[in-house]
A and B are shown apart, each in its own frame.
Chain A
Amino acid sequence: MSLQTTLDYRPAAARAGLIIDWTPYLVGIGIGVLSWVVFLVVNNPLGITTALSQVSGAVATPVLGAEAVARNSYWARNLFSLDYGTLFLVGTLAGGFGSAVLAGSFRFEQVPTVWAERFGPSPLKRYAAAFLGGIIAMYGARLANGCTSGNGISGGLQLALSGWVFLAVMFATGTATAFAMFRTAR
């Protein structure tokens, strides 16, 4: 393998020669097969943000009071409990950790390369954008009734109209946002 003269965007561990990446096609097949398994075994599609909104109810409880949360018409039907959805979140977090540890690639990252090239090395700036982006993405995901997993992959693979509308629109505004933010980048 020849040395690349262009910037290397892979994580530090990969640059150091650790083989942590699987080809995207293998990962796509893996996620597809995982979908078969969850449909068959637990009668549930893959999804993240319904459970995440249950967690948001739990987080809001000390601030708004348990009664206000229980009375809220949205949380009333998405009450927090250790159920299939919320435990799936725990698993996803642990899966990222497990993969990173097994690959020896676990690193605390404050500012990723692409961001730093455009907006500089300030972690605070990056955190502010991540926080704001998190608010917007989650509000959008709830309004659309699902995120890239629940609407995009699970909806897409069932040929659901909602899933394909979601994919088309989010790729369009995502692309516009990326070009607006990084227009001076190569």
Chain B
Amino acid sequence: MTLPVTGTAALFLSVVFGFAFGFLLHRGRVADYNTIVRQFLFQDFTVLKIMMTAIIVGGVGVFLMVQFGYAKFHIKPADLLAVSLGAALFGVGMVLYGYCPGTALAAIGGGSLHALVGAGGMLVGGIVYALTFDWVKATILPVGALGRVQLHTLLGISPWAIFAALAVVALTLFVAVERASAKRA
């Protein structure tokens, strides 16, 4: 088998990978409004635990694969104004909605009707973005456009140093959170 897989086989696999993603999100309780909103209220740290673990485990593997030539990076451009404004809106929208786009889909699969209604809103948001895209492209995207930058090249250090630091931060947070929740129980 030659990698990457393309054509019909890749289409079939994309459903399989999507299924795994939705299954994991649902089993991890992040396809649940309560879990997501309580993360932002610092009452439940499930979201951060999942994301930090995924980033560290995923990152170490992907960097190794790139280093040995088995994978390529797919870095999005750091258009700093657009990313900041977009992320600011996203945070507000995510808390109002109670889901992010991926967890929303898994939640709809689990029977959440308000996630389904909000998905209608996401489609409207997509339409509004397409209709305003020319303006966004001309006025917002060029501001602070740094290109496809990665942190380790920006800081001039080894990526492994960053992953080591992330692991220390994550472990410290996880231990603190687990201790606090054991005390409450």
A interface residue numbers (CB < 8 A to B): 9-11, 20-22, 24-25, 27-46, 48-49, 52-53, 55-57, 59-60, 72-75, 82-85, 87-100, 103, 105-115, 123, 126-127, 129-179, 181-182, 185-186
Residue B142 lies at the interface, judged by CB distance under 8 Å to chain A:
no
**Given A28-B54, A32-B61: A161 and B21 within 8 A (CB)?**
no
* B25-47 interface bits toward A, Cβ cutoff 8 Å, 1 = contact, 0 = none: 11111111111011011111110
**Judging by beta carbons under 8 Å apart, are B58 and A35 in contact?**
yes
Given known pairs A75-B130, A140-B93, A160-B150, the reply for A24 and B50 (CB within 8 Å) is yes
Would you call B14 and A87 a contact (CB within 8 A)? yes
Q: Which of A108, A112, A168 lies at the interface centre, i.e. has the most chain B CB atoms within 10 A of its CB? A: A112
Asked if A22 contacts B27 (CB within 8 A), the reply is yes
Cross-interface CB contact of A141 among B23, B101, B134, cutoff 8 Å: B101
- Closest Cβ–Cβ distance, residue B111 to chain A (whole Å): 5
13 interchain pairs (CB within 8 A)? A30-B24, A34-B24, A35-B62, A40-B3, A52-B123, A109-B33, A131-B120, A133-B98, A133-B121, A159-B162, A162-B83, A164-B151, A174-B40
Interface residue ranges, B against A (CB under 8 Å): 3-6, 10-11, 13-35, 37-38, 40-46, 49-59, 61-62, 65, 70-80, 82-98, 100-115, 117-131, 133-134, 136-137, 140, 146, 148-152, 154, 159, 162, 174
The B interface is mostly helix, strand or loop, or mixed, namely helix
> Do residues B127 and A153 form an inter-chain contact, with CB atoms below 8 A?
no
| Chain A residues, CB < 8 A from B26 | 95-96, 99-100
The residue in chain B whose Cβ has the minimal distance to the Cβ of A24 is: B49
Do A110 and B114 contact each other (CB < 8 Å), given the known contacts A92-B21, A135-B121?
A: yes
- State A121–B104 Cα separation when bound (angstroms): 21
* Complex contact A174–B89 (CB within 8 A): no
In the complex, the answer to whether A143 meets B86 with C-beta atoms within 8 Å is: yes
Given A132-B121, A137-B100, verify A179-B41 contact (CB < 8 Å).
yes
Is the CB–CB distance between B54 and A166 below 8 Å? no
Residue of A nearest to B146 (CB): A161
The answer to whether B130 touches A88, judged by C-beta atoms less than 8 angstroms apart, is no
